Amino acid sequence: MNYIDNIAFGILLIFGIGFFVRNVQKLVRNIKLGKSIDRSDNSKARWKNMILVALGQSKMVRRPVAGILHILVYVGFVIINIEVLEIIIDGLFGTHRIFSFIGGFYGFLIGSFEILGFLVLISVIIFWLRRMVLRIPRFWNKEMMGFPKNDALNILYFEMVLMSLFLLMNATDVHFQEMGSGNPISIFLAPLFEGLSPETMHLFERTAWWLHITGILVFLNYLYYSKHLHILLAFPNTFYANLNVKGKLNNLESVTNEVKLMMDPNVDQFAAVPEGTADAVPEKFGASDVTDLNWVQLMNAYTCTECGRCTSSCPASQTGKELSPRAIMMKTRDRLEEIGTILNNNNGEFVNDGKELLNDYITPEEVWACTSCNACVEECPVNIDPLSIIMDMRRYLVMEQSAASQELNMMMTNIENNGAPWQYNQMDRLNWKDE
């Protein structure tokens, strides 16, 4: 490799990493649009959660076939990308297999990479067959049509090509094959190129080398636009996940304080209002747009793997209701990205586009179809919580718009007037005990 190749590689590397850093900055900015929430408690439990769920894939293997295949792809990609370090050094300094000086251990490493690469290739092909031939229903919900479907396939094709290029690069490296070490898979591919001149073999090897590293950089930058952003976000997402028992909902402090005032007749309501805040505009109850959600919920939206385990286990979805927890997360991410685009086009300032998450993306029908059973939260392999977003939108509908169903509005009116869900006088509340 001459100096022109070194310079070209350096430019490619700088451009690829620079574009990735720029996208990460946009990602962080968009997540920070969410409201503040403290998730710094119980760090020991949070680290354990992250290690078991994100690193250990403990929830993936609940469905053994997909879980084991995913672990193979996950481990393969993580370990094989150690080889990228050697490629970067070789590309910048014009060396060739710089780590080969370590001898036998180098052969062991590359041999392990080849075996893992082959297993990744087989796993990805099986994933493709499950999606396109077996047509597993959760991959064919209506929210998975268009870009989501193509995105999933693009990732599979990316992985197939990258693994194939890695093996082809090794198979056409004459010096590497002559070592007779570290080539348990490529040794079977090398005979396909017998009879070619050394120059042609070198051309094949260099072409595979360049395409492999370019593909890795393209894949890295495609993550921001893809469901595979969970490769990066699964770790913080599981660390900051809600540790409360499932089913425990948070209380709005403003509502709690109001209830306390109502229940204690001795409290001076005017004295309870902090000085200077009597005329303040109260905070919106619940959420109608993504900026009303907290930053963990927004990170959840970006972390969604679109695997559909939540929707396939949702009783509302199974009975034909409009709700799909996966769609809730996808629509939240789409709205957040739309707001991010507005910020990009207006020097960081938000210009009202007349849209909101609720109604324009997620319908009240979807929100009210939820049974709040937490099946989606339990099933998610990276601890995403669609229910929290649904409940915040319900709060907005009820407390800001009084847009609940007639039966629910009647119940809440009875509680307000009678102290009970039923429509009778407060004086008759205890008559049941005399019957």
Q: What is the tens place of the pLDDT at every residue in 130-162?
A: 999 999 999 999 999 999 999 999 999 999 999
Give residue 76's pLDDT: 85
CB atoms within 10 A of CB 241: 24
CA dist., res. 423 & res. 393, Å (int): 28
Which of 6-20, 156-170, 409-423 is least confident?
409-423
Which residues, in sequence order, are CB contacts of 226 under 8 Å at separation 6+?
A: 151, 154, 155
Quote the percentage of the chain above a pLDDT of 70.
Answer: 94
> Smallest Cα–Cα separation from 299: which of 332, 344, 342?
332
Rounded (10°) CA dihedral 201, 206, 207, 209: 130
d(CA 182, CA 196): 22
Compute the mean pLDDT over every residue in the chain, rounded to the nearest whole number. 89
Q: Is 294 helix (H, G, I), strand (E, B) or coil?
A: strand
- The CA-atom distances, in angstroms, between 318 and each of 118, 127, 311, 322, 373 are 37, 24, 8, 10, 13
Q: Is 107 strand, coil or helix?
A: helix
Please report, as a single letter, which amino acid is at residue 419.
G
CA distance 21 to 182: 34
Does residue 411 carry a pLDDT above 60? Answer: yes
Q: Quick check: helix, strand or coil at residue 242?
A: coil
Please list, in sequence order, all residues whose beta carbon lies within 8 angstroms of the beta carbon of residue 14, skipping any fewer than 6 positions away.
Answer: none
pTM beyond 0.85: the answer is yes
pLDDT of 271 strictly over 60: no
- Burial-class residue 269 by CB neighbours within 10 Å (0-12, 13-18, 19+): exposed
pLDDT, tens digit (0-9, with 9 covering 90-100), for 329-363: 999 999 999 999 999 999 889 999 999 999 999 99
Tokens at 86, concatenated: 């050697």
Instruction: Determine the average pLDDT of the residues in 419-428.
Output: 76
Tell me, rounded to whole angstroms, the distance of Cα 256 from its chain centroid. 33
CB atoms within 10 A of CB 92: 14
Per-residue pLDDT tens over the stretch 70-111? 999 988 878 887 888 899 999 999 888 888 888 788 889 999
Residue 279, pLDDT score: 47
Phi and psi torsions of 358, nearest 5°:
-80, 130
Q: Where are the domains of the chain?
A: 3-31+63-230, 253-424
CATH classification for the domain delimited by 253-424, as one of 1.10.760, 1.10.1060, 3.30.70, 1.10.3470: 1.10.1060
Extract the tokens encoding 351: 């210009």
Question: What is the DSSP secondary-structure string of 172-203?
Answer: T-HHHHHHTSS-TTHHHHGGGGTT--HHHHHH
Contact 144, 327 (CB under 8 A): no
Q: Give the separation between CA 220 and CA 77, rounded to whole angstroms.
A: 12
Nearest to 159 by CA among 200, 127, 191: 127
pLDDT tens-digit series, residues 372-407: 999 999 999 999 999 999 999 999 999 888 888 888
CA distance 367 to 362: 8
- If you search the block for the tokens 């700088």, which residue do you land on? 14
pLDDT at 278: 47
CB 285 within 8 A of CB 395: yes
